[in-house]
Amino acid sequence: MLPITLSTLLLHLVTSNLVPQTLAVPNTQHGTGLRSLKLEARKTSRPSEAIAWSNTSTLITIEDDYDLDYVVNITIGGQVVALAVDTGSSDLWVHVQDRLETNSETDIDITLNYGIGSASGNVVYGVADLGKYAVPSQAFLDVNEVTDQNGPGILGLGLASLSSIYDNLSKERSAQPLMYNIFDQHPTLPKFIAISVERSNDKEEESGGSLSIGEYDPSFSAVAESPMIPVAHPQAARWTVAIDGMHINNKKYGLTSRVEGAAPGTSIALIDSGTSLAYIPGAAVDYIYENIPGSMRLPKNGQSSWAVPCMEPANLTFFLGGDSFAVHPLELTIFKTIVEDGQQWTICTNAFQAQLSVGATDLDFLLGDIFMRNVYSVFNYGGLTPKNQTQPPSIQLLSRTNQLLAYQEFAVQRAISLSSRPPLYDISKLNATKNDVVDWLDVDVDMIVD
């Protein structure tokens, strides 16, 4: 980490290996823009066979590493690999040292470009086992080069129309994503996956939730009665849905959208388990944090950065499909450590951050794990193929955060977390027009989550 010297104040970051999972939104886009239509949630019950499957199958454990990565073990190419669970992309890729066992190889080389970073390799076929399901010949990318990617690979759980492997192999059925192959092999299996991701309170690696295929976690079976929120349009390339409202401390934010055809007063959001934080319009970031008492706006590279009182809770609520989904106040800020004159200090900054340039025109909000930890999420694949519009893909959400209890939990958990950290920095110092801390925050240096 490069230290930064200022005229009257020396600040630098305490080295840490904990960085938020970067944007997992592929740059490649398929399909067309939104048609002009009003997105309406459908109140419907899941067929009874969805519950029946849960009596004979098992949940797949998701492991949580400091609330930054959520991974599942998958056996592929003869090796057990912990792959990131990613609803924001659709391809399966693996990057390991030992040679993978393959059924066949192709002469197709692909580079998967994400919001940050990339993975390059050769498309191959091999046996893939996930939970109790085995696919004898699954197409995946045997990666030989990565940039800015943590871990040995990604399990893309998005729609087939976003898959670069599927697209490059001329949409051959054999090249479709893993979930599609599992559903093809089990025609009576309900065509959905369900995900819960947990918040780590003790900051140690622990079980981080569950992934299930065609069944629910029994703890959240009430999601079957949640409305089905259709994806942005029947040929949507991503798990994008309409947000009907956003409130902070009971104050309503005026939603708008840059997405063609989005209904007035709505924004289009990608529900993405492959991104740790959330990336939203800068105006929305400012609206959230300016309504938290004591927060200070800190311009950094022209983006919206905020210092927030670490012990100040807030009520952030999203509205989707006619239901409300509260965000736990613990999710609104992240800890950072600075050093002033040799003394370490703790500061809290905004976890909902201004959008990075990802080149996507089909979404306004990217809601990552800090949103998904507050809901139980079901991703319905519908008719599976992009051309089948009789059963369009949809998402069901079940709220898991009780705002009253969340405030109580916040007070306890935040006090515990701060007790083992350096003392709090007095962010009221940042109110000065000319302040070295503000100047420093405007420097193009990444702040590392501590």
> Which residues have C-beta within 8 Å of that of residue 103, sequence separation ≥ 6?
124, 125, 126, 127, 136, 137
pLDDT at 433 > cutoff 80 = no
Together in a domain, 180 and 240:
no
The secondary structure of residue 355, as a DSSP letter, is P
**Which has more pLDDT, 238 or 357?**
238
Confidence of residue 301 (pLDDT cuts 50, 70, 90): low
Tell me the C-alpha distance between 202 and 413, whole Å. 9
The encoded tokens of residue 128 equal: 């893939």
Together in a domain, 231 and 354:
yes
Tell me the C-alpha distance between 60 and 185, whole Å. 19
Confidence of residue 365 (pLDDT cuts 50, 70, 90): very high
Confidence of residue 97 (pLDDT cuts 50, 70, 90): confident
> Which residues have C-beta within 8 Å of that of residue 316, sequence separation ≥ 6?
246, 247, 248, 288, 326, 327, 329, 332, 352
Confidence of residue 361 (pLDDT cuts 50, 70, 90): confident
Together in a domain, 160 and 281:
no
Tell me the C-alpha distance between 287 and 52, whole Å. 45
Q: Please compute the mean of the pLDDT values over residues 58-68 and round it to a whole number.
A: 80
Together in a domain, 252 and 321:
yes
363 Cα distance to chain centroid = 14
Q: Please compute the mean of the pLDDT values over residues 379-391 and round it to a whole number.
A: 69
Q: Please compute the mean of the pLDDT values over residues 306-331 and round it to a whole number.
A: 97
Together in a domain, 85 and 140:
yes
* pLDDT at residue 339, as a whole number: 87
Together in a domain, 339 and 429:
yes
Confidence of residue 43 (pLDDT cuts 50, 70, 90): very low
In a domain, 107, yes or no: yes
Tell me the C-alpha distance between 13 and 450, whole Å. 9
**Quick one: which H or E segment has residue 422?**
none
* pLDDT at residue 236, as a whole number: 76
In a domain, 2, yes or no: no
Together in a domain, 288 and 159:
no
**Strand partners of residue 80:** 75
In a domain, 321, yes or no: yes
The encoded tokens of residue 11 equal: 């600040």
Count structural domains, the chain: 2
pLDDT at 281 > cutoff 70 = yes
**Quick one: which H or E segment has residue 438?**
helix 436-441
In a domain, 32, yes or no: no
* pLDDT at residue 356, as a whole number: 61
| pLDDT tens digit sequence for 252-264 | 999 999 998 999 9
Q: Please compute the mean of the pLDDT values over residues 411-434 and round it to a whole number.
A: 86
Together in a domain, 242 and 370:
yes
The encoded tokens of residue 257 equal: 């959208």
Last residue of a domain, which of 185, 209, 238? Answer: 185
| pLDDT tens digit sequence for 10-39 | 233 333 334 455 455 555 433 333 322 333
**CATH, residue 337:** 2.40.70.10
Last residue of a domain, which of 155, 185, 215? Answer: 185
Q: Report yes or no: 70 and 208 within 8 Å, Cβ to Cβ.
A: yes
* pLDDT at residue 58, as a whole number: 80
pLDDT at 324 > cutoff 90 = yes
| pLDDT tens digit sequence for 400-414 | 999 999 999 999 999
What mean pLDDT, rounded, does the chain reach?
82
Together in a domain, 245 and 394:
yes
3-state secondary structure of 5: strand
| 312-329 burial: b if 16+ Cβ within 10 Å, else e | bbbbbbbbbbebebbbbb
Angle (CA) 266-254-40 rounded to 5° is 20
H-assigned helices in 95-170: 164-168
**Strand partners of residue 394:** 230, 380
Q: Which of 85-89, 112-116, 253-257 has the lowest mean pLDDT?
A: 112-116
Q: Which of 56-65, 105-114, 382-391 has the lowest mean pLDDT?
A: 382-391
In a domain, 200, yes or no: no
| Residue pointed to by tokens 């930890």 | 373
| Residue pointed to by tokens 């995946």 | 140
pLDDT at 4 > cutoff 60 = no
Together in a domain, 296 and 379:
yes
Q: Please compute the mean of the pLDDT values over residues 49-71 and round it to a whole number.
A: 67
Range of the domain at 155: 60-185
Together in a domain, 150 and 246:
no
In a domain, 447, yes or no: no
In a domain, 198, yes or no: no
Q: Which of 95-99, 153-157, 328-332, 429-433 has the lowest mean pLDDT?
A: 429-433
Q: Which of 179-193, 319-333, 355-369 has the lowest mean pLDDT?
A: 355-369
* pLDDT at residue 56, as a whole number: 53
* pLDDT at residue 35, as a whole number: 28
* pLDDT at residue 429, as a whole number: 82
* pLDDT at residue 437, as a whole number: 53
The encoded tokens of residue 369 equal: 């794990």
* pLDDT at residue 51, as a whole number: 41
| pLDDT tens digit sequence for 210-253 | 999 999 999 999 999 999 999 987 677 899 999 999 999 999 99
Together in a domain, 167 and 244:
no
* pLDDT at residue 150, as a whole number: 77
